[in-house]
Amino acid sequence: MEKKPITVAGNEFPLHSVRVAVVGSGAAALNAAVHLARLGVDDVAIVTERLGAGVSANAGSDKQTYYRLNPADDAGDSARETANRLFSGGCMHGDVALVEASLSLLEFHHLASLGVPFPFDRYGSHAAYRTDHDERARGSSAGPGTSIMMYEKLRDEAKLLGIPVLEGLTVVDIVTVDDTNGRRAAGIIAMGGVSGAGAPYNLCAIGADYVVLATGGPGALYADSVYPASQAGSLGAAVASGAVAQNLSESQFGIASKRPRWNLSGSYQQALPRYYSTAPDGGGEREFLADCFPSVEALLAAQFRKGYEWPFDVKKITGHGSSCVDLLVYYESVVRGRRVYIDYRSNPSFPGSAFGIDVLPAEARDYLERSNAVGKAPVERLLVMNTPAYELFLKHGIDLAREPLEIAVCHQHVNGGLRGDIWWESSVRNLFPVGEANGSHGVYRPGGAALNAGQVGGLRAAQMIAHRVSGKAPEGGDGRSASVRIALKARIRECRRALAAKPADPRAERLELQRRMSRALGILRDPAGIERAIEENAGAMRRHRESGVAAAKALRDFLKNADLLLAERLFLEASRLALSRIEGGRGSYLVGRIGDFLKIDEEGRARTVSPPVLGGMALGEIVELSLGGDGRIDSRVVPVRPIPRETMWFERVWKEYMEGSVYTPD
Ligand SMILES: Cc1cc2nc3c(=O)[nH]c(=O)nc-3n(C[C@H](O)[C@H](O)[C@H](O)COP(=O)(O)OP(=O)(O)OC[C@H]3O[C@@H](n4cnc5c(N)ncnc54)[C@H](O)[C@@H]3O)c2cc1C
């Protein structure tokens, strides 16, 4: 990596030049950097807001899953079978599904060989279990902090390989150049860190022939969210640079605690805690779930199943299914504005029936008895089933034996993101979105497929970059310097204007955006609500363009808000188009108004759940979005590509591999 100053508008800014800039430092970024170094690409730098920030390094649940083809499956799992499962989730390209399936084992073993403690038996087979949306056992786990361990092992490996890290930098622009082959990535503009220190507005530039964008999902979009609060990603910057986005209407939502932000799946639900809500001032406590279930057995069965059917799913409402719990929590909190709690000190109650292990449905009773978790209170059952789950909250100062936990139906993962091809390359040449930034998933992704896709994507991007740089001099060039200058000039103008304008509070603006998103694009989506949110978003964008900040230290948040406002607009436009193609709902959201799904009495209590009538789900198509030159968002629908049917003839593959034609498109 080379560093020299660049003069723009009479000021000097640091300019780092590097062959590959890997942006972000979650599990996806670190893995891409490690593979690049191992494949012999010697001028790689990691550029990140902070080592230890992001989802991989922080988030967890009862048990985190890593999804992979299962070599120990008695019925003979295969890459094609696994790809079929990924593809059948809908709105996913078949060739990408095949790559994710084929490389899932290699990447799993890569992690295992780095020391991520995935459990294995005495013969060396890694244990596996079934996750949501799968009929085979393909999930592996090292426990609640699997992604945290992945992050730590990959971080240590990157350090061992001597990959430099530029820390404290928020990427605000992806710089591109236009050449005869179209638009290609040429670097980034970032704000903050040691690199930006001393330069006007803390801006600096990193010129790079290749950019691996692993900035995660735009977690800061929602008020009810289980992402780390600081995680905002860079979707707006990527789309502004010309990258195409896809499937932005698709996310995962589920029940999580608000402080700390933690998914309440697995034993947290199987311990059968009591759910209740209160008015905002704490009065009027009520066990709202009992109003809507026909019997205590039905209520407990739904609560128990929530443990292994964690994400909200429109198909799991019928027959008093587990997703009724999310819908009722959503109604209490988002629609009625009440606060909802989960309480491990006492059992759920039901009019006319007493709680007891004997009234549990057979499935739950059997599970609890086998686990010897038959204690009187939910906290006793939780402690027997999963002591670390109890201790986790204790570490955050919350004793579940003494106090309730406030919860919400939280945004947890974006299935969509930037469009990548089978090498994870975006529509901008040399720009590779990997990890959650890449929206490879469709509607129903099996639990654990996100971590796998992040690892496979990093390897694929590294393989393609290593192939392209092999034996070639760095590109760099005058075109790159000119583009860096233009991008820096635009940012200088914007910062200057913001400091001169009437200051607004970036935090208040962010909160308003987050509340708008939780209202309009949660688990219930109404086309009229989306139109309203689009208007409000346009107003917020206007306000942003006209307002400013009181001091330079607020500039970073101010620019992040602009990125998030564009991301919000993209989510809303994607959902507007997706909703016009489906009936009743799909995956993680219902389409309609609350009254279509809940019968409400005159006191405002939900009394009956009416399951959605699910019509066409448009699972064979993908909504794509791009930004036109005039700032308008173009949205369109494209059909999914099928799973390729190539025969594995060794001599042919060997030849294509040796010639390098495996790297060229069909
Ligand atoms: C509670 C929870 C539980 C989950 N459980 C599972 C599970 O069991 N199985 C599964 O497969 N998936 C799970 N997921 C999803 C999965 O964990 C994430 O998709 C994955 O960890 C994302 O990894 P990443 O490397 O792409 O992004 P992250 O780990 O989020 O990393 C993003 C990085 O980019 C940096 N960054 C962000 N914006 C910028 C910017 N503008 N400039 C510079 N740097 C930036 C951040 O600081 C961070 O270093 C879960 C998610 C949550 C929230």
pLDDT in tens, 345-378: 999 999 999 888 888 888 889 999 999 999 999 9
User: Does 412 sit in the ligand 1 pocket, CB within 6 Å?
Assistant: yes
Ligand 1 pocket mutation pick from 56, 434, 561 by most atoms within 8 angstroms of CB: 56
The Cα–Cα gap between 303 and 319 comes to 13
Question: What is the structure's pLDDT at 73?
Answer: 87
Q: Which residues pair with 47 in a beta bridge?
A: 23, 166
The mean per-residue pLDDT over the stretch 467-493 comes to: 92
**254 vs 226: CA distance, rounded Å:** 9
Q: How far is the CA of 450 from the centre of ligand 1 (A)?
A: 9
Helices (H), 103-139: 104-114
61 lines ligand 1 (CB under 6 A): yes
141 CA: nearest ligand 1 atom? 8
For the four alpha carbons of 575, 581, 583 and 588, in that order, the dihedral sign comes to: negative
- What's the pLDDT band for 135 if we cut at 50, 70, 90? confident
Contact 5, 14 (CB under 8 A): yes
Contacts of 508 (CB under 8 A, 6+ apart): none
Between vectors from CA 235 to CA 412 and to CA 619, what angle results, nearest 5°? 60
Q: Give the pLDDT score at 201.
A: 96
- Percent residues over pLDDT 90 in the chain: 91
What is the pLDDT averaged over residues 447-473?
96
Which residues make beta-bridge pairs with 635?
Answer: 625
Rounded Cα distance between 132 and 312, Å, is 11
- CA dist 385 and 400 (Å) reads 14
Above 90 in pLDDT, residue 646?
no
Which residues, in sequence order, are CB contacts of 367 under 8 Å at separation 6+? 270, 304
Q: Exposed, middle or buried by CB within 10 Å (0-12, 13-18, 19+), for 61?
A: buried
Q: Is 191 in the pocket of ligand 1 (CB under 6 A)?
A: no
The tokens describing 74, both together, are 């008695």
Does position 166 have pLDDT exceeding 80, yes or no? yes
112 against 308, higher pLDDT: 112
- The per-residue pLDDT for 356 is 84
CA 65 to ligand 1: nearest atom: 8
Q: Radius of gyration (Cα) for the chain, nearest Å?
A: 25
Q: List, as one string, the DSSP characters of 507-526.
A: HHHHHHHHHHHHHHSSSEE-
Question: What is the model's pLDDT at position 134?
Answer: 86
Whether 49 is in the pocket of ligand 1, judged by its Cβ within 6 Å, is yes
Whether 520 shows a pLDDT value over 90: the answer reads yes
Query: Residue 603: is its pLDDT beyond 90?
Result: yes
Which pLDDT does position 455 carry in this prediction?
A: 98
What would the mean pLDDT of 3-7 be, rounded to a whole number? 94
The residues, any chain, with a CB within 8 Å of residue 234's CB and separated by 6 or more, are 23, 171, 172, 174, 213, 215, 437, 563
Nearest 5 degrees, angle CA 453-CA 113-CA 658? 65
Q: How far is the CA of 18 from the centre of ligand 1 (A)?
A: 25
DSSP string of 352-378? TB---GGGS-HHHHHHHHHTT---SSH
- What is the average pLDDT across 210-233? 97
User: For residue 665, what are the CA distances in angstroms to 182, 582, 623, 660, 661?
Assistant: 16, 33, 23, 11, 8
Distance 254 CA to ligand 1 centre (A): 17
Read off the pLDDT of each residue in 517-538 and give the average, rounded to a whole number: 98
Report which ligand 1 atom has the smallest distance to the Cα of 215.
34
pTM for the structure as a whole? 0.97
C-alpha of residue 37 to centroid of ligand 1, in Å: 22
Distance 423 CA to ligand 1 centre (A): 20
| DSSP summary character for residue 632 | P
> In a 3-state reduction of DSSP, which class is residue 141?
strand
CA separation for the pair 90, 134 (Å, rounded): 13
Q: Average pLDDT, stretch 476-501?
A: 94
**Interval 416-440 mean pLDDT:** 98
Residue 88 has pLDDT above 80, yes or no: yes
Cβ atoms of 342 and 329 within 8 Å: the answer is no
- Closest atom of ligand 1 to 237 CA is 41
Averaged pLDDT score across all residues of the chain = 96
Atom of ligand 1 nearest to the CA of 560: 41
Indicate whether 145 pLDDT > 80.
yes
Closest atom of ligand 1 to CA, residue 263: 1
Tokens of 638: 């494209």
pLDDT at 181: 87
Q: What is the helix (H) or strand (E) element at residue 500, kind and residue range? A: helix 478-500
59 pocket-lining for ligand 1 (C-beta < 6 Å):
yes
pLDDT at 133 over 80: no
**Is the CB of residue 64 less than 8 Å from the CB of residue 194?**
no
**pLDDT category of residue 620 using cuts at 50, 70 and 90:** very high
